[in-house]
Structure 1
Protein backbone atom coordinates (compact mmCIF):
# COMPACT_ATOMS: atom_id res chain seq x y z
CA UNK A 1 0.00 0.00 0.00
CA UNK A 2 1.36 3.45 -0.83
CA UNK A 3 1.45 6.25 1.73
CA UNK A 4 -1.46 8.12 0.18
CA UNK A 5 -3.83 5.14 0.26
CA UNK A 6 -2.89 4.46 3.87
CA UNK A 7 -3.41 8.12 4.75
CA UNK A 8 -6.88 8.06 3.16
CA UNK A 9 -7.81 4.87 5.01
CA UNK A 10 -6.69 6.21 8.39
CA UNK A 11 -8.54 9.47 7.85
CA UNK A 12 -11.66 7.53 6.80
CA UNK A 13 -11.47 5.30 9.89
CA UNK A 14 -10.97 8.35 12.11
CA UNK A 15 -14.02 10.05 10.61
CA UNK A 16 -16.11 6.89 11.07
CA UNK A 17 -15.19 6.95 14.75
CA UNK A 18 -16.22 10.59 14.90
CA UNK A 19 -12.77 11.70 16.07
CA UNK A 20 -10.99 14.92 15.20
CA UNK A 21 -7.22 14.66 14.71
CA UNK A 22 -6.79 16.02 18.22
CA UNK A 23 -9.13 13.40 19.70
CA UNK A 24 -7.38 10.58 17.85
CA UNK A 25 -4.02 11.83 19.13
CA UNK A 26 -5.36 11.96 22.68
CA UNK A 27 -7.04 8.53 22.53
CA UNK A 28 -4.06 6.82 20.92
CA UNK A 29 -1.47 8.59 23.12
CA UNK A 30 0.31 9.82 20.00
CA UNK A 31 1.27 13.39 19.21
CA UNK A 32 -0.98 15.52 17.04
CA UNK A 33 1.98 16.11 14.72
CA UNK A 34 2.37 12.33 14.23
CA UNK A 35 -1.33 11.98 13.30
CA UNK A 36 -1.07 14.93 10.89
CA UNK A 37 2.03 13.52 9.19
CA UNK A 38 0.41 10.08 8.80
CA UNK A 39 -2.79 11.56 7.34
CA UNK A 40 -0.79 13.70 4.89
CA UNK A 41 1.04 10.58 3.71
CA UNK A 42 4.37 11.93 4.95
CA UNK A 43 5.04 8.88 7.14
CA UNK A 44 3.88 5.29 7.59
CA UNK A 45 3.02 4.17 11.13
CA UNK A 46 5.19 1.30 12.33
CA UNK A 47 5.78 -0.63 15.54
CA UNK A 48 4.27 0.92 18.66
CA UNK A 49 2.71 3.78 16.69
CA UNK A 50 0.90 1.32 14.43
CA UNK A 51 -0.38 -0.72 17.38
CA UNK A 52 -1.64 2.34 19.28
CA UNK A 53 -3.32 3.72 16.17
CA UNK A 54 -5.05 0.49 15.14
CA UNK A 55 -6.26 -0.25 18.68
CA UNK A 56 -7.82 3.20 18.88
CA UNK A 57 -9.42 2.86 15.43
CA UNK A 58 -10.71 -0.65 16.21
CA UNK A 59 -8.87 -2.51 13.42
CA UNK A 60 -5.93 -4.88 13.31
CA UNK A 61 -2.55 -3.80 11.87
CA UNK A 62 -2.99 -6.38 9.08
CA UNK A 63 -6.42 -4.99 8.19
CA UNK A 64 -4.96 -1.51 7.91
CA UNK A 65 -1.81 -2.39 5.97
CA UNK A 66 -3.47 -4.90 3.61
CA UNK A 67 -6.32 -2.55 2.68
CA UNK A 68 -6.30 -1.53 -0.94
CA UNK A 69 -8.79 0.30 -3.06
CA UNK A 70 -8.79 -2.19 -5.92
CA UNK A 71 -10.93 -1.94 -8.99
CA UNK A 72 -13.05 -5.01 -9.65
CA UNK A 73 -15.56 -4.57 -12.46
CA UNK A 74 -16.61 -8.21 -12.05
CA UNK A 75 -17.74 -7.67 -8.46
CA UNK A 76 -19.61 -4.50 -9.43
CA UNK A 77 -21.38 -6.48 -12.14
CA UNK A 78 -22.30 -9.18 -9.61
CA UNK A 79 -23.53 -6.53 -7.19
CA UNK A 80 -25.89 -5.18 -9.84
CA UNK A 81 -26.89 -8.71 -10.92
CA UNK A 82 -27.77 -9.49 -7.29
CA UNK A 83 -30.62 -7.01 -7.61
CA UNK A 84 -32.22 -9.22 -10.29
CA UNK A 85 -33.47 -11.41 -7.44
CA UNK A 86 -36.18 -8.76 -7.18
CA UNK A 87 -37.89 -10.74 -9.96
CA UNK A 88 -38.25 -13.67 -7.55
CA UNK A 89 -39.17 -11.65 -4.47
CA UNK A 90 -38.86 -7.87 -3.94
CA UNK A 91 -37.13 -8.19 -0.55
CA UNK A 92 -34.38 -10.35 -2.10
CA UNK A 93 -33.59 -7.46 -4.44
CA UNK A 94 -32.68 -5.49 -1.32
CA UNK A 95 -31.12 -8.20 0.87
CA UNK A 96 -28.68 -9.73 -1.67
CA UNK A 97 -27.13 -6.38 -2.76
CA UNK A 98 -27.06 -5.24 0.89
CA UNK A 99 -25.00 -8.28 1.96
CA UNK A 100 -22.66 -7.88 -1.03
CA UNK A 101 -22.25 -4.16 -0.30
CA UNK A 102 -21.44 -4.74 3.39
CA UNK A 103 -18.81 -7.36 2.53
CA UNK A 104 -16.81 -5.28 0.04
CA UNK A 105 -17.76 -1.61 0.46
CA UNK A 106 -14.34 -0.69 1.87
CA UNK A 107 -12.30 -3.01 -0.30
CA UNK A 108 -13.32 -2.39 -3.90
CA UNK A 109 -13.52 0.90 -5.76
CA UNK A 110 -17.08 2.12 -6.48
CA UNK A 111 -18.76 -0.65 -4.42
CA UNK A 112 -19.70 1.77 -1.64
CA UNK A 113 -21.19 4.30 -4.07
CA UNK A 114 -22.90 1.69 -6.27
CA UNK A 115 -24.27 -0.25 -3.30
CA UNK A 116 -25.81 2.82 -1.67
CA UNK A 117 -27.48 3.88 -4.92
CA UNK A 118 -28.66 0.37 -5.80
CA UNK A 119 -30.04 -0.46 -2.35
CA UNK A 120 -31.77 2.92 -2.02
CA UNK A 121 -33.32 2.40 -5.46
CA UNK A 122 -34.52 -1.12 -4.62
CA UNK A 123 -36.04 0.02 -1.32
CA UNK A 124 -37.81 2.91 -3.10
CA UNK A 125 -38.98 0.52 -5.82
CA UNK A 126 -40.29 -2.06 -3.31
CA UNK A 127 -42.13 0.61 -1.31
CA UNK A 128 -43.75 1.87 -4.52
CA UNK A 129 -44.79 -1.68 -5.49
CA UNK A 130 -46.27 -2.44 -2.05
CA UNK A 131 -48.06 0.92 -1.96
CA UNK A 132 -49.66 0.24 -5.36
CA UNK A 133 -50.69 -3.27 -4.24
CA UNK A 134 -52.16 -1.99 -1.00
CA UNK A 135 -54.15 0.65 -2.88
CA UNK A 136 -55.34 -2.00 -5.33
CA UNK A 137 -56.44 -4.29 -2.50
CA UNK A 138 -57.89 -1.33 -0.55
CA UNK A 139 -55.47 -2.00 2.30
CA UNK A 140 -56.84 -5.47 3.01
CA UNK A 141 -53.38 -7.08 3.15
CA UNK A 142 -49.68 -6.31 3.02
CA UNK A 143 -48.36 -8.25 -0.01
CA UNK A 144 -44.89 -9.14 1.32
CA UNK A 145 -44.64 -12.34 -0.76
CA UNK A 146 -45.58 -10.67 -4.03
CA UNK A 147 -43.47 -11.64 -7.05
CA UNK A 148 -43.21 -11.08 -10.79
CA UNK A 149 -45.32 -14.21 -11.36
CA UNK A 150 -48.10 -12.74 -9.19
CA UNK A 151 -48.03 -9.53 -11.19
CA UNK A 152 -48.53 -11.44 -14.47
CA UNK A 153 -51.45 -13.25 -12.81
CA UNK A 154 -52.97 -9.90 -11.81
CA UNK A 155 -52.46 -8.58 -15.34
CA UNK A 156 -53.97 -11.65 -17.05
CA UNK A 157 -56.95 -12.12 -14.72
CA UNK A 158 -57.92 -8.49 -14.27
CA UNK A 159 -56.13 -6.67 -17.13
CA UNK A 160 -56.34 -3.49 -15.12
CA UNK A 161 -54.32 -0.31 -15.07
CA UNK A 162 -52.84 -1.54 -11.77
CA UNK A 163 -51.63 -4.75 -13.42
CA UNK A 164 -50.08 -2.81 -16.29
CA UNK A 165 -48.39 -0.39 -13.86
CA UNK A 166 -46.93 -3.29 -11.83
CA UNK A 167 -45.49 -4.88 -14.99
CA UNK A 168 -44.07 -1.46 -15.93
CA UNK A 169 -42.38 -1.26 -12.49
CA UNK A 170 -40.68 -4.63 -13.04
CA UNK A 171 -39.58 -3.73 -16.58
CA UNK A 172 -38.19 -0.37 -15.40
CA UNK A 173 -36.25 -2.11 -12.61
CA UNK A 174 -34.83 -4.67 -15.05
CA UNK A 175 -33.78 -1.99 -17.56
CA UNK A 176 -32.13 0.08 -14.77
CA UNK A 177 -30.11 -2.94 -13.66
CA UNK A 178 -29.01 -3.81 -17.22
CA UNK A 179 -27.95 -0.21 -17.94
CA UNK A 180 -25.90 -0.08 -14.74
CA UNK A 181 -24.29 -3.46 -15.40
CA UNK A 182 -23.03 -2.04 -18.71
CA UNK A 183 -21.77 1.09 -16.91
CA UNK A 184 -19.91 -1.06 -14.37
CA UNK A 185 -18.24 -3.06 -17.13
CA UNK A 186 -17.00 0.20 -18.67
CA UNK A 187 -15.69 1.45 -15.31
CA UNK A 188 -18.33 4.19 -15.06
CA UNK A 189 -20.24 5.18 -11.92
CA UNK A 190 -23.73 3.74 -11.57
CA UNK A 191 -26.88 5.83 -11.43
CA UNK A 192 -30.21 4.56 -10.13
CA UNK A 193 -33.17 6.93 -10.26
CA UNK A 194 -35.60 7.82 -8.94
CA UNK A 195 -34.73 6.80 -5.41
CA UNK A 196 -34.91 8.04 -1.85
CA UNK A 197 -31.33 8.17 -0.46
CA UNK A 198 -31.79 5.73 2.44
CA UNK A 199 -28.02 5.13 2.63
CA UNK A 200 -25.68 8.11 2.70
Structure 2
Protein backbone atom coordinates (compact mmCIF):
# COMPACT_ATOMS: atom_id res chain seq x y z
CA UNK A 1 0.00 0.00 0.00
CA UNK A 2 1.15 3.54 -0.73
CA UNK A 3 2.68 5.21 2.32
CA UNK A 4 0.65 8.43 1.97
CA UNK A 5 -2.59 6.47 1.84
CA UNK A 6 -1.48 4.39 4.84
CA UNK A 7 -0.80 7.48 7.00
CA UNK A 8 -3.90 9.29 5.73
CA UNK A 9 -6.12 6.37 6.67
CA UNK A 10 -4.31 5.96 9.99
CA UNK A 11 -5.29 9.55 10.83
CA UNK A 12 -8.80 8.81 9.51
CA UNK A 13 -8.71 11.55 6.86
CA UNK A 14 -10.43 11.37 3.52
CA UNK A 15 -8.50 12.72 0.56
CA UNK A 16 -10.73 15.78 0.62
CA UNK A 17 -10.12 16.41 4.35
CA UNK A 18 -6.35 16.09 3.92
CA UNK A 19 -6.57 18.48 0.98
CA UNK A 20 -8.47 21.04 3.08
CA UNK A 21 -6.09 21.04 6.05
CA UNK A 22 -2.89 20.88 4.00
CA UNK A 23 -3.75 23.12 1.07
CA UNK A 24 -2.62 20.40 -1.37
CA UNK A 25 -5.17 19.70 -4.10
CA UNK A 26 -7.21 16.51 -4.02
CA UNK A 27 -5.94 15.68 -7.51
CA UNK A 28 -2.31 15.90 -6.32
CA UNK A 29 -3.10 13.60 -3.39
CA UNK A 30 -4.77 11.16 -5.77
CA UNK A 31 -1.75 11.19 -8.09
CA UNK A 32 0.65 10.54 -5.21
CA UNK A 33 -1.47 7.68 -3.94
CA UNK A 34 -1.51 6.28 -7.48
CA UNK A 35 2.29 6.15 -7.47
CA UNK A 36 3.62 9.55 -8.52
CA UNK A 37 6.69 10.64 -6.55
CA UNK A 38 6.29 12.76 -3.44
CA UNK A 39 8.90 15.46 -2.92
CA UNK A 40 9.67 19.04 -2.01
CA UNK A 41 7.03 21.34 -0.59
CA UNK A 42 4.28 18.74 -1.00
CA UNK A 43 6.27 16.16 0.96
CA UNK A 44 7.03 18.58 3.81
CA UNK A 45 3.44 19.84 4.00
CA UNK A 46 1.80 16.42 3.98
CA UNK A 47 4.27 15.03 6.53
CA UNK A 48 3.54 17.99 8.80
CA UNK A 49 -0.23 17.57 8.60
CA UNK A 50 -0.08 13.78 8.96
CA UNK A 51 2.32 14.17 11.91
CA UNK A 52 4.96 11.83 10.56
CA UNK A 53 8.53 12.04 9.30
CA UNK A 54 9.08 12.88 5.65
CA UNK A 55 11.08 9.66 5.27
CA UNK A 56 8.05 7.65 6.37
CA UNK A 57 6.04 8.96 3.42
CA UNK A 58 8.71 8.11 0.85
CA UNK A 59 9.84 4.77 2.23
CA UNK A 60 10.52 2.33 -0.58
CA UNK A 61 7.69 0.06 -1.53
CA UNK A 62 7.89 -3.72 -1.63
CA UNK A 63 9.46 -4.73 -4.95
CA UNK A 64 7.07 -6.25 -7.41
CA UNK A 65 7.14 -9.99 -7.80
CA UNK A 66 8.15 -9.75 -11.48
CA UNK A 67 11.45 -8.13 -10.48
CA UNK A 68 12.28 -11.10 -8.29
CA UNK A 69 11.36 -13.58 -11.05
CA UNK A 70 13.31 -11.60 -13.62
CA UNK A 71 16.36 -11.80 -11.39
CA UNK A 72 15.87 -15.50 -10.66
CA UNK A 73 15.54 -16.22 -14.38
CA UNK A 74 19.30 -15.62 -14.60
CA UNK A 75 19.73 -19.01 -12.95
CA UNK A 76 19.62 -20.33 -16.50
CA UNK A 77 23.35 -20.29 -16.05
CA UNK A 78 24.73 -20.85 -19.51
CA UNK A 79 25.42 -17.65 -21.38
CA UNK A 80 23.63 -16.14 -23.25
CA UNK A 81 20.48 -17.50 -21.52
CA UNK A 82 21.41 -15.75 -18.27
CA UNK A 83 21.17 -12.47 -20.23
CA UNK A 84 18.28 -13.24 -22.54
CA UNK A 85 15.88 -14.64 -19.93
CA UNK A 86 15.77 -11.48 -17.76
CA UNK A 87 15.62 -9.26 -20.84
CA UNK A 88 12.68 -11.07 -22.45
CA UNK A 89 10.80 -11.49 -19.15
CA UNK A 90 11.12 -7.75 -18.47
CA UNK A 91 9.68 -7.04 -21.93
CA UNK A 92 6.90 -9.61 -21.48
CA UNK A 93 5.85 -8.19 -18.08
CA UNK A 94 6.47 -4.62 -19.28
CA UNK A 95 8.81 -3.92 -16.37
CA UNK A 96 10.83 -0.84 -17.24
CA UNK A 97 13.10 -0.49 -14.24
CA UNK A 98 16.74 0.50 -13.81
CA UNK A 99 17.02 -2.57 -11.58
CA UNK A 100 16.46 -4.85 -14.58
CA UNK A 101 19.23 -3.05 -16.45
CA UNK A 102 21.53 -3.52 -13.45
CA UNK A 103 20.63 -7.24 -13.29
CA UNK A 104 21.53 -7.69 -16.95
CA UNK A 105 24.75 -5.68 -16.50
CA UNK A 106 25.83 -7.94 -13.62
CA UNK A 107 25.06 -11.08 -15.64
CA UNK A 108 26.88 -9.70 -18.68
CA UNK A 109 29.98 -9.03 -16.58
CA UNK A 110 29.76 -12.53 -15.07
CA UNK A 111 29.44 -13.97 -18.59
CA UNK A 112 32.68 -12.26 -19.57
CA UNK A 113 34.63 -13.04 -16.39
CA UNK A 114 33.57 -16.69 -15.97
CA UNK A 115 35.31 -18.01 -19.12
CA UNK A 116 38.39 -15.90 -18.43
CA UNK A 117 38.68 -17.34 -14.92
CA UNK A 118 38.05 -20.84 -16.27
CA UNK A 119 40.74 -20.63 -18.96
CA UNK A 120 43.23 -19.09 -16.54
CA UNK A 121 42.46 -21.89 -14.10
CA UNK A 122 42.93 -24.71 -16.56
CA UNK A 123 46.12 -23.11 -17.89
CA UNK A 124 47.63 -23.82 -14.47
CA UNK A 125 47.35 -27.54 -15.33
CA UNK A 126 46.52 -28.63 -11.81
CA UNK A 127 44.52 -31.66 -12.91
CA UNK A 128 40.98 -32.79 -13.52
CA UNK A 129 39.85 -32.51 -9.89
CA UNK A 130 40.90 -28.85 -9.77
CA UNK A 131 39.03 -28.22 -13.03
CA UNK A 132 35.85 -29.72 -11.60
CA UNK A 133 36.17 -27.59 -8.44
CA UNK A 134 36.86 -24.55 -10.58
CA UNK A 135 33.73 -25.13 -12.69
CA UNK A 136 31.64 -25.67 -9.55
CA UNK A 137 33.06 -22.50 -7.99
CA UNK A 138 32.27 -20.43 -11.06
CA UNK A 139 28.75 -21.86 -11.22
CA UNK A 140 28.12 -21.33 -7.50
CA UNK A 141 29.44 -17.76 -7.66
CA UNK A 142 26.66 -16.85 -10.07
CA UNK A 143 24.05 -18.69 -8.00
CA UNK A 144 25.23 -16.69 -4.98
CA UNK A 145 25.04 -13.39 -6.89
CA UNK A 146 21.51 -14.11 -8.10
CA UNK A 147 20.19 -15.34 -4.74
CA UNK A 148 21.82 -12.48 -2.81
CA UNK A 149 20.36 -9.94 -5.24
CA UNK A 150 16.93 -11.56 -4.84
CA UNK A 151 17.29 -11.28 -1.06
CA UNK A 152 18.29 -7.60 -1.20
CA UNK A 153 15.47 -6.90 -3.66
CA UNK A 154 13.09 -8.34 -1.10
CA UNK A 155 14.62 -6.48 1.86
CA UNK A 156 15.70 -3.12 0.43
CA UNK A 157 14.27 -2.94 -3.10
CA UNK A 158 17.78 -2.72 -4.56
CA UNK A 159 20.48 -5.03 -5.81
CA UNK A 160 23.15 -5.97 -3.28
CA UNK A 161 25.70 -6.80 -5.97
CA UNK A 162 25.71 -4.34 -8.80
CA UNK A 163 28.26 -2.61 -11.00
CA UNK A 164 29.40 0.93 -10.37
CA UNK A 165 29.18 1.52 -14.10
CA UNK A 166 26.69 0.68 -16.82
CA UNK A 167 27.44 -1.65 -19.70
CA UNK A 168 24.22 -1.23 -21.69
- In structure 2, what is the Cα distance between the partners aligned to 1:195 and 1:91? 22
Change (3 A) 1:5 1:195: same
Deviations 1:14-59 (A, max 9, x none): xxxxxxxxxxxxxxxxxxxxxxxxxxxxxxxxxxxxxxxxxxxxxx
Could you tell me which runs of 5 or more consecutive residues in structure 2 were left unpaired when the two chains were aligned. 1-29, 38-60
2:62 touches 2:157 (CA, 8 Å); kept in 1?
Answer: no
Superposition pairs for residues 159-170 of structure 1, below 5 Å? 159-160=129-130, 162-170=131-139
Return the TM-score normalized by structure 1.
0.45
Residue 83 of structure 1: how far off its partner (Å): 0.6
Could you tell me which runs of 5 or more consecutive residues in structure 1 were left unpaired when the two chains were aligned. 9-69, 107-111, 139-154
2:71 touches 2:149 (CA, 8 Å); kept in 1?
Answer: yes
- In structure 1, what is the Cα distance between the partners aligned to 2:69 and 2:141? 19
- In structure 2, what is the Cα distance between the partners aligned to 1:163 and 1:189? 33
Residue 128 of structure 1: how far off its partner (Å): 1.4
Return the TM-score normalized by structure 2.
0.52
Cross-structure match for 1:97: 86
- In structure 2, what is the Cα distance between the partners aligned to 1:129 and 1:82? 18
Deviations 1:86-115 (A, max 9, x none): 1xx221111101112334233xxxxx2221
